[in-house]
A and B are shown apart, each in its own frame.
Chain A
Amino acid sequence: MSSIDYEALAAEARQMFESAADEHELESARVAWIGRKGRITLLLRQIPDLPADERPIAGGTLNALKGELAACLEERLRNLSADESETGADFDITHPGRTPFIGRLHPLTTTLNEIIDVFREMGFDVAEGPEVESEYYNFEALNIPEHHPARGMWDTFWTESPPGMVLRTHTSPVQIRTMEHQEPPVRIIVPGRCYRSDTPDSTHSPVFHQVEGLYVDEGVSMAMLRGALDTFAHRLFGEEVPTRFRPSYFPFTEPSAELDIGCFQCSGKGCRLCKGTGWIEILGAGMVNPDLYGFVGYDPEKVTGYAFGMGVERIAMLRYGIDDIRLFYENDLRFLEQF
Chain B
Amino acid sequence: MRLPLSWLRDFVPYEGSAEDLAVSLTVAGLEVEEIVRPGEIFKGVTVAEVLEAGRHPDADRLSVCSVTIGGEPIPVVCGAPNVAAGQKVPFAEVGTLLPNGMRLKKAKIRGEVSMGMICSEVELEIGDDAAGIVVLPEEAAVGTSFAEYLGIDDEIIEIDVTPNRPDALSIYGLARETAALFQLPLEPPDFSVNESGPAASETISVAIEDFEGCPRYSARLIRNVRIDSSPPWLAGRLRAVGLRPINLIVDITNYTMMELGQPQHAFDLRQVAGGSIIVRRAREGEALRTLDEKVQTLDPELLVIADPDRALAVAGVMGGFDSEISGDTTDVLLESAHFNPIRVSIGGGRLDLITESGKRFERGTDPTITGRAADRTARLIADMAGGEVAAGLVEQVAPEALEQRAVSVRKTWVDSLLGASIPDDEATGILERLGFEVNDGAQAGEWQVTIPPWRPDADGPAHVAEELARVWGYDNLGSDTRLSGEAAAGPTLRQKLRVDIRNAMVHFGFYEVITDSLVGRDAAHPFLPGSEPVVLANPRGEESSELRRDLLPGVLRALAHNHRHQMTDVRIFEIGMVHRLEGDKALEQEWIVGALHGSRLAEIWDESSPGTDWFDLTGLMAAHYRALRIDTPRALPYNGAALDASTGIRYVDDDENETGLAGRLTIGFAEALGFTKPVWVFGFRLDSIETGHRSVRRYQGLPRFPAAERDLSLILPLEAPVGTIIDRLKTEKRVEDVRLVERYTGDQIPADRKGVLLSLRLRDIGNTMSDSDLEDILKKLVKILENEFGARLRG
Q: Residues on A close to B: CB < 8 A?
A: 96-106, 108-109, 120, 122-126, 130-132, 147-150, 152-153, 157-163, 165, 167, 185, 187, 193, 195, 197, 199, 206-207, 215, 217, 219, 221-224, 226-228, 230-231, 244-249, 254-258, 275, 277, 287, 289-291, 304, 328-334, 336-337
Contacts and interface: CB of A to CB of B under 8 A. Distances in A.
Contact of B544 (A206, A224, A291): A206
8 contacts: A99-B603, A123-B485, A163-B537, A197-B538, A221-B480, A255-B474, A289-B462, A291-B460
Nearest to B28: A247
A125 to B, nearest CB: 5
Contact of A101 (B475, B480, B509, B514): B509
A290 B286 CA distance: 43
Nearest to A234: B481
A106 B27 CA distance: 36
Contacts of A330: 558, 561
A117 B470 CA distance: 31
B536 A159 contact: yes
Given A120-B488, A206-B518, A254-B465, 12 more contacts: A99-B602, A103-B571, A126-B491, A126-B492, A150-B164, A159-B536, A161-B581, A162-B585, A227-B480, A246-B29, A331-B513, A332-B567
A97 to B, nearest CB: 7
A255 B470 contact: yes
Interface in B466-484: 466, 469-470, 474-475, 477-484
Contact of A159 (B532, B586, B605): B586
List 5 A-B pairs, minimum CB-CB distance, nearest first. Answer: A101-B509, A223-B419, A221-B419, A247-B29, A249-B162
A330 B567 CA distance: 14
B29 to A, nearest CB: 3
Contacts of A249: 29, 162-165
B679 interface: no
Interface stretch (B8-16, B131-139, B338-346): B338-346
Nearest to B539: A157
B497 interface: no
Nearest to A95: B605
Contacts of B562: 331-333
A124 B418 CA distance: 21
Nearest to A249: B162
Interface residues of B, number: 99
A224 B536 contact: no
Interface string B22-63: 000011110101100000000000000000000000000000
Interface stretch (B390-398, B500-508, B634-642, B652-660): B500-508
Contacts of B536: 157-160, 167
Contact of B588 (A100, A132, A247): A132
Contacts of A255: 418, 462, 465-466, 469-470, 474
Nearest to B577: A131
Interface in B515-550: 515-518, 532-540, 544, 547
Q: Which of A109, A124, A254: most chain B CB closer than 10 A?
A: A254
Given A207-B517, A287-B417, A149 B477 contact: no
A330 B489 CA distance: 36
B69 interface: no
A185 B518 CA distance: 36
B420 A223 contact: yes
Contacts of B342: 147
B629 to A, nearest CB: 20
A328 B163 CA distance: 31
B604 interface: yes
A149 B491 contact: no
Given A120-B488, A331-B513, A245 B540 contact: no
Nearest to B418: A222
B534 A123 contact: no
A251 to B, nearest CB: 8
Q: Which of A130, A157, A185: most chain B CB closer than 10 A?
A: A157
Given A104-B511, A123-B487, A125-B488, A167 B547 contact: yes
B586 A162 contact: yes
Contact of A132 (B480, B512, B579, B606): B579
B470 A105 contact: no
B608 to A, nearest CB: 14
Given A162-B586, A333-B562, A336-B511, A246 B26 contact: yes
A124 B483 CA distance: 11
B579 A222 contact: no
A147 B345 contact: yes
A4 B688 CA distance: 78
B565 interface: yes
Contact of A248 (B29, B345, B417, B604): B29
Given A231-B481, A332-B561, A221 B513 contact: no
B257 interface: no
Nearest to A291: B460
B579 A131 contact: yes
Contacts of A336: 511-513
B417 A100 contact: no
A49 B512 CA distance: 76
Contacts of A257: 474
A23 B676 CA distance: 53
A149 B561 contact: no
Contacts of B495: 126
A147 B316 CA distance: 15
B593 to A, nearest CB: 13
Nearest to B504: A103
Nearest to B557: A331
A148 to B, nearest CB: 8
B31 A246 contact: yes
A24 B236 CA distance: 104
A247 B474 contact: yes
Contacts of A167: 536, 547
Contacts of B363: 149
Given A158-B538, A223-B479, A337 B511 contact: yes
A206 B511 contact: no
B537 A160 contact: yes
A325 to B, nearest CB: 12
B290 to A, nearest CB: 20
B150 interface: no
A13 B569 CA distance: 55
A247 to B, nearest CB: 3
Contacts of B165: 249
Contacts of A161: 532-535, 581
B346 A147 contact: yes
Interface string B181-197: 00000000000000000
A15 to B, nearest CB: 40
Contact of A105 (B502, B565, B569): B502
Contacts of B33: 275
A45 to B, nearest CB: 38
Nearest to A200: B540
B484 A162 contact: no
B363 to A, nearest CB: 5
Contact of B486 (A123, A227, A290): A123
Interface string B595-606: 000000111111
Interface in B340-363: 341-342, 345-346, 349, 362-363
Contacts of A104: 506, 511-512
A235 B299 CA distance: 56
Contacts of B345: 147, 149
B18 to A, nearest CB: 12
B340 to A, nearest CB: 10
Contact of A162 (B488, B534, B605): B534
A219 to B, nearest CB: 7
Contacts of B625: none
A163 B536 CA distance: 9
B480 A226 contact: yes
A98 B601 contact: yes
Contacts of B558: 330-331
Nearest to A288: B462
